[in-house]
Amino acid sequence: MSPNLLRFVQRWRGVALMSVVVVATIWLAVTNQLILYIHPRYVVFTVIMAVVALVFVASSAFLREPHDHDAPPTRRQNAVSGAAAVLSLAIAVGLIVVPPATLTSATLEQRAINDGGLTGDQGQSVEAVASTTDAAFASFTVLDWSSLLRQTTELSVFSDKPVDVVGFVSADPDDPENMFFVSRFIITCCAVDAQPVGVPVYAPDWADDVAVDQWVRVTGGFDTNPSSASDQAVVVVPDAVEVVDQPGEPYLY
Amino acid sequence: MSSQLEDRRRDRDRSPGHDHPPDYSRARRRQFTWLAVGIVGITALFVVRAITAESSALALPDKAQDFLTLSISVIVESMPFVILGIVLSIAVQVWVPDSWIMRVLPRNPFLRRAAISFIGVFLPVCECGNVPLARGLMVKGFTVSESMTFLLAAPIINPITIITTHQAFGWDDGILVGRIVGGFVIANLIGWLFSRHPHQDSLLTEKFARECRVPDAHAHGTTRWQESVALFRRESSVILPALFIGAVAAGAIQSFVPRSVLVSLGSNPLWSILAMMLLAFVISVCSNVDAFFILPFASTFMPGSIVSFLVFGPIIDIKMLALLRTTFTVKTLVQLTVVVALLSALIGLVVNYVA
């Protein structure tokens, strides 16, 4: 690289990267997809700071200082910042060009479903659901059911309760032919801390009808698990498994 | 100086043979040209983003897609705090009168560092935003050790972090107290240790040390606004590539190392502490929210290891090291990491055996 170009890159790389992030952020916020990356409570703050940065970016093009104190970089610095530039550029292109997406079952396998535990105010407690009506049960999410399943495997708590949940499909690691999980990620801050939760479903040869990562709506009721290979004591035996569109808010909180 | 000459030369290349108008109007025209370039560039980014949004041809395989999602999530989550940090740093360097900050702080070095530990109470920026702010404070006259005390204490001793930690754990098992006291002690101990170093400047990267020595730019006849914008450009040139690299490293480890490896290290008093610190190092979440993140693990891990996570994580993790590297030498960072790790482990052990 010629020294001029190098100096130019060194001067403007920050502003360029900032523009990319800010444009991507604002676009995600406008199209309601920022929640694919961060918890909804940060959306307003993030957008405000993005607009502040946008003002600075525009002014840095307008108010260029007449001279600068940037020292010419050494050869080693050049090599390091060259590598950094390539890496940053790749991510920047990803930010602008690759369609935004939710986390997939690849991350779910990485993190072991229903493993992380939940906080007190997430999901439901066994005592509290003793007086819950059927209509309320039907609106229970994957998170609600999985939090109950974690507390007890007593069938009497679950039997005769209507199940109607939406989530993506991930295979049960112990009995992948007969069982899958209706799964969701729960988020406390951003996608980095996503933890998978899921409700086990017993449906032999499910792979013929639905694929891993496909979004489905499962209706049915709980019963003792017929599968001997799986650790799950209580599972959903579905009346219907229908393929649905990915919901606007794919994560639960 | 040389860049000015080059600019002028480039100008001439672009429009050969044009006669030289007075400097002033030419500078004006150049300003608007660059503003136009900026606006066109930003608009182009928006257009490309909108066009590519739906094209499934650009979708990546699962593993790569998740890696990208995780990395972007770190960047998008930290970015507002980084911007806030840069803005505060500009305020401190350009707009706050020189003597003000220095005058209100005590003279005695121990009291001074203790007071600096509480700056975070007034500037509740996350740890990633603290890096540009600490750089600003150093340019303004903080010693290296004082800025370290600030960097270490501010993410923990700040209202948002304290409130979220209290929401998550209440007063149970001394976790909240352990975190605040632990953070304060470590920050001041580190500040004292590094203040013993005979050559404070040698702790810094050469580039940043030089920046600290540059005299006030007011002398050159630039306006405060120009200076603010220039500072924004410089700080983002330094901080953003570091943030990107930190995010990529954090995303890569998250998508390629199973978390169960860490969790399976279990409930041994010592191993659980090391596992938690390793988790904190890898996960790189902000101090404002890490309490919520770690809460689900509270049942499987001992309270001391939770404290270690909450004390170590805000100060040292992959993303922070990448950011700190913009300012401190590798040697300094290795020393810092080792000392902070040992102290966090010690505090965790104490809580484990006491609680």
- Across the interface, whether the CB atoms of A99 and B63 are under 8 A apart is answered no
State the smallest CA–CA distance between residue B278 and chain A in angstroms: 15
Nearest to A63 among B226, B248, B258 (CB): B226
Nearest to B174 by CA among B305, B10, B278: B305
Cα dihedral A136, A138, A140, A141 in deg (nearest 10): -160
pLDDT for residue A65: 58
pLDDT over threshold 60, residue B266: no
What mean pLDDT do residues B322-343 have?
91
Nearest to A190 by CA among B74, B266, B64: B74
Same domain, A67 and A128: no
Q: What is the model's pTM?
A: 0.79
- CA B344, CA B276: separation in Å to the nearest integer? 11
pLDDT for residue B7: 44
Chain A CB contacts of B233 below 8 Å: 11-12, 14-15, 60
- Across the interface, whether the CB atoms of A23 and B211 are under 8 A apart is answered no
Same domain, A24 and A131: no
- Across the interface, whether the CB atoms of A84 and B83 are under 8 A apart is answered no
Nearest to B286 among A98, A103, A189 (CB): A189
pLDDT grade for A115, boundaries at 50, 70 and 90: low
Chain A CB contacts of B244 below 8 Å: 17, 84, 87-88, 91-92
pLDDT over threshold 90, residue A183: yes
- In this structure, are residues B307 and B179 in contact, taking their beta carbons and an 8 Å threshold? yes
What backbone torsions phi and psi does residue A247 show, to the nearest 5 degrees?
-70, 160
- CA B285, CA B288: separation in Å to the nearest integer? 8
Under DSSP, the state recorded for A13 is: H
- Across the interface, whether the CB atoms of A11 and B207 are under 8 A apart is answered no
Domain final residue, candidates A97, A114, A142: A97
> Does the residue A249 lie in any domain?
no
pLDDT for residue A217: 94
> Does the residue A29 lie in any domain?
yes
Same domain, A118 and A139: yes
Tell me which of A193, A213, A251 to substitute to probe the interface with B (most B C-beta atoms closer than 10 Å): A193
More confident residue, B103 or B4: B103
Same domain, A194 and A123: yes
pLDDT grade for A215, boundaries at 50, 70 and 90: very high
- CA A50, CA A25: separation in Å to the nearest integer? 7
In this structure, which long-range contacts are made by residues A133-136, counting pairs with CB atoms below 8 Å and at least 24 apart in sequence? A134/A161, A134/A162
Chain A CB contacts of B42 below 8 Å: 19, 23, 54, 57-58
- CA B144, CA A161: separation in Å to the nearest integer? 63
pLDDT for residue B337: 93
> Does the residue A248 lie in any domain?
no
Interchain CB contacts (distance < 8 Å): A and B: 271
More confident residue, B262 or B5: B262
> Does the residue A31 lie in any domain?
yes
- CA A158, CA B217: separation in Å to the nearest integer? 71
State the smallest CA–CA distance between residue A108 and chain B in angstroms: 10
Give residue A15's domain range. 3-97
Nearest to A57 by CA among B171, B193, B169, B35: B35
What mean pLDDT do residues B34-58 have?
84
Same domain, A18 and A142: no
Nearest to B285 among A25, A59, A193 (CB): A193
* B84 burial via Cβ count (<10 Å: 0-12, 13-18, 19+): buried
- Across the interface, whether the CB atoms of A119 and B295 are under 8 A apart is answered yes
Nearest to B38 among A58, A77, A103 (CB): A58
pLDDT in tens, B90-133: 887 788 776 677 777 888 888 988 988 888 887 766 777 788 88
Tell me which of B82, B87, B163, B233 to substitute to probe the interface with A (most A C-beta atoms closer than 10 Å): B233
Least confident range from A175-179, B11-15, B138-142, B295-299: namely B11-15
Give the C-alpha distances (Å, rounded to integers) separating B219 from A62, A68, B1, B89, B92: 22, 13, 16, 20, 18
- CA A42, CA B165: separation in Å to the nearest integer? 18
pLDDT for residue B16: 44
- CA A140, CA A117: separation in Å to the nearest integer? 18
More confident residue, B250 or B124: B250
pLDDT in tens, B292-311: 667 766 766 788 888 898 89
State the smallest CA–CA distance between residue A4 and chain B in angstroms: 8
Chain B CB contacts of A253 below 8 Å: none
Same domain, A46 and A116: no
Same domain, A116 and A216: yes
Q: What residue type is B58 in one-letter code? A: L
What mean pLDDT do residues B308-327 have?
87
- Across the interface, whether the CB atoms of B53 and A112 are under 8 A apart is answered no
pLDDT over threshold 80, residue B80: yes
What mean pLDDT do residues B1-20 have?
43
> Does the residue A226 lie in any domain?
yes
pLDDT over threshold 60, residue A31: yes
* A248 burial via Cβ count (<10 Å: 0-12, 13-18, 19+): exposed
Q: Please tell me if residue A46 touches chain B, with a CB cutoff of 8 Å.
A: yes
Structure tokens, A129: 């659901």
pLDDT for residue B88: 83
Under DSSP, the state recorded for B92 is: I
pLDDT in tens, A138-169: 888 998 888 888 888 888 888 888 899 999 99
- In this structure, are residues A221 and A161 in contact, taking their beta carbons and an 8 Å threshold? yes
pLDDT for residue A79: 67
pLDDT in tens, B220-238: 557 888 888 888 888 888 7
What mean pLDDT do residues B139-152 have?
88
State the smallest CA–CA distance between residue B190 and chain A in angstroms: 29
Give the C-alpha distances (Å, rounded to integers) separating B7 from A4, A253, B21, B55: 10, 53, 16, 40
> Does the residue A89 lie in any domain?
yes
- Across the interface, whether the CB atoms of A71 and B52 are under 8 A apart is answered no
Same domain, A11 and A115: no
Same domain, A135 and A169: yes
Nearest to A65 among B30, B226, B260 (CB): B226
Same domain, A121 and A52: no
Chain B CB contacts of A57 below 8 Å: 38, 42
State the smallest CA–CA distance between residue A61 and chain B in angstroms: 5
Q: Please tell me if residue A97 touches chain B, with a CB cutoff of 8 Å.
A: yes
Same domain, A44 and A150: no
What mean pLDDT do residues B135-147 have?
86
Chain A CB contacts of B4 below 8 Å: 66-67
pLDDT in tens, B176-188: 888 899 999 999 9
pLDDT grade for B25, boundaries at 50, 70 and 90: confident
> Does the residue A252 lie in any domain?
no
pLDDT grade for B169, boundaries at 50, 70 and 90: confident
> Does the residue A70 lie in any domain?
yes
pLDDT for residue B325: 87
B240 strand-pairing partners: none
Helices of type H across B196-223 = 206-213
Nearest to B242 by CA among A193, A189, A91: A91
Chain B CB contacts of A58 below 8 Å: 35, 38-39, 42
Tell me the domain boundaries of chain B: 2-59, 63-354
- Here the CATH number for the domain that contains residue A234 is 2.40.50
Chain A CB contacts of B225 below 8 Å: 59, 63
Number of domains in chain A: 2
In this structure, which long-range contacts are made by residues A206-209, counting pairs with CB atoms below 8 Å and at least 24 apart in sequence? A206/A169, A206/A178, A206/A179, A206/A180, A206/A241, A207/A171, A207/A177, A209/A241
- CA B305, CA B345: separation in Å to the nearest integer? 8
Same domain, A109 and A174: yes
Beta-carbon contacts of A27 under 8 Å, excluding residues fewer than 6 positions away, are B46, B49, B50
Beta-carbon contacts of A24 under 8 Å, excluding residues fewer than 6 positions away, are A95, A96, B45, B49, B72, B76
